Amino acid sequence: MSDEPLDYAENDTVTLTLDDDTEIVCDVITIFPCGDKKYIALLPQDSEEEGEVYLYEFQEDGDEPNLINIESDEEFEAVSDAFDEWLDSEEFNEMFDEDDTEE
């Protein structure tokens, strides 16, 4: 599997239902690979904590997305690192995009 982020539709949202039946609407930040699996990063729209991001394993069952909790600390650490790398590359790309528009 490639280390490049997978295509995703910006402005897509996902509604998560928590254990207490609370529903949270989240914006899809990206779907990205880590190891031999895909993961999704979600940003809650009404988050009280700045920078709060939810990470889940992402599988597609036909056209239906399936989000799976990350159970192990080791897997979560690897996924968090992969997401941080993705964020760093996006910031790097934005920096060069801004340089191009200034000329």
pLDDT at residue 63 in the model: 77
Under a CB-based contact definition with an 8 Å cutoff, are residues 42 and 79 in contact?
A: no
Supply the mean pLDDT for the chain.
Answer: 82
Interatomic CA distance for residues 9 and 103, integer angstroms: 30
Interatomic CA distance for residues 86 and 77, integer angstroms: 14
Task: Kindly indicate the confidence band of residue 79, based on its pLDDT and cuts at 50, 70 and 90.
Answer: very high
Runs of H (alpha helix) within 16-72: none
Under a CB-based contact definition with an 8 Å cutoff, are residues 59 and 69 in contact?
A: no
Interatomic CA distance for residues 69 and 53, integer angstroms: 14
pLDDT at residue 78 in the model: 97
pLDDT at residue 62 in the model: 81
Interatomic CA distance for residues 22 and 48, integer angstroms: 15
**CB-CB neighbours of 12 under 10 Å:** 14
Domain ranges of the chain: 13-102
Q: What percent of the chain has pLDDT over 90?
A: 51
